[in-house]
Structure 1
Amino acid sequence: MINFGFPQDIKLPDDVQFVPYQKGLREGVDIAVIFDETIANPNGPDLAFLRYEPGAYVPGHVHMGFETVLVLNGDYIENGQVFTAGNFIVRAPGTCHSMASKGGCTILASRYIPVKQLTEGWVDEGKNINSDYEAHA
């Protein structure tokens, strides 16, 4: 993780168009796609802004390729670790994680190959333990 040390949260322009993202699986998460090559190639990359409402949660999944995340504002939680504005995260292929936000956040995320979805649950060192995340107990 690299911390760019933003002096304040980054606010996106009002004209960025968000839509619900994977309803039923990623409740409380909206997406604004910048580009998505998976339409032409199922193993292609994508880049998007993701906005998490307070209490939003994403079940565990495995990344088949690299993923990068830049936290623009709020609290972004991966496997129980809290990241804030200016944190830049790089995940290697094979990384397994779940994500959440207690107070809401916006991130810029890029995946180089789509993910493989796992069972529901908060991922912590390879174990699903829902009870550790209060908003989704």
Structure 2
Amino acid sequence: MSRRAHEAKDARLFEADPAEQALASLSLAAPPISPPADLWAKIAGQLAAPIPAGIEIGPLAAGKWRKLAPGVQIKPLWGKRTFLIRCEPGATVPRHRHRSFEHTLILTGDIAAGYGDFGPGDYLGNPQGWHEAWSTKAGCLVLVQYD
């Protein structure tokens, strides 16, 4: 399915039904209220709280990127099955083999594959086997996980 077809399908998912349209006007009937005076202090306190045990945080800048192909870098996230791929504008990921099912989520940029053009938020599920090269016009960052 093309990116435009995906966008049209997504737009239909978010169309307001008659009940939502009727209730929307109620938000205009209520007077505006001010948040409690201490709200921002409470939010700041939560943000400054220590990270709970068991939660891992890894900034994008942290960790090591390694070259996969010209203009293409890969960064393992956890284990051997989840990683990021970062591509410079005009880069191509060469033909490659998947040893198991591959889940790909485009975070930024674009991907042009033999079966369509895709952008941020698009998901691609690829079965085990050999897959043709794909490229990017603007550059991209994608999250990849193998089963």
User: In which range does the TM-score fall when normalised by the shorter chain?
Assistant: 0.5 to 0.7
Structure 1 unpaired stretches of 5+ = 6-11, 38-45, 113-137
Select the structure with the greater relative contact order (CA < 8 A; seq sep ≥ 6): 1
Identity among equivalent positions (%) equals: 29
Q: Which amino acid aligns with 2:93?
A: V
Question: Which protein has the bigger helix share?
Answer: 2
More strand by share: 1
Structure 2 unaligned regions, length at least 5 = 11-57
Distance 1:55 1:70 in 2: 19
Where does residue 34 of structure 1 map in the other structure? 77
Size of the alignment, in residue pairs? 95
Residue in 2 aligned with 1:67?
102
Corresponding residue number in structure 2 for 1:15: 61
Q: Deviations over 1:15-66 (max 9, x none)?
A: 34452323xxx111122211233xxxxxxxx111111000111221232210
1:79-100 per-residue CA deviation (whole Å, 9 max, x = no partner) reads 2621100101111112522121
TM (norm. structure 1) is 0.58
Give the RMSD, CA atoms, in angstroms. Answer: 2.8
Task: Give yes or no for contact 1:71–1:107 (8 Å, CA) kept in 2.
Answer: yes
TM-score (norm 2): 0.54
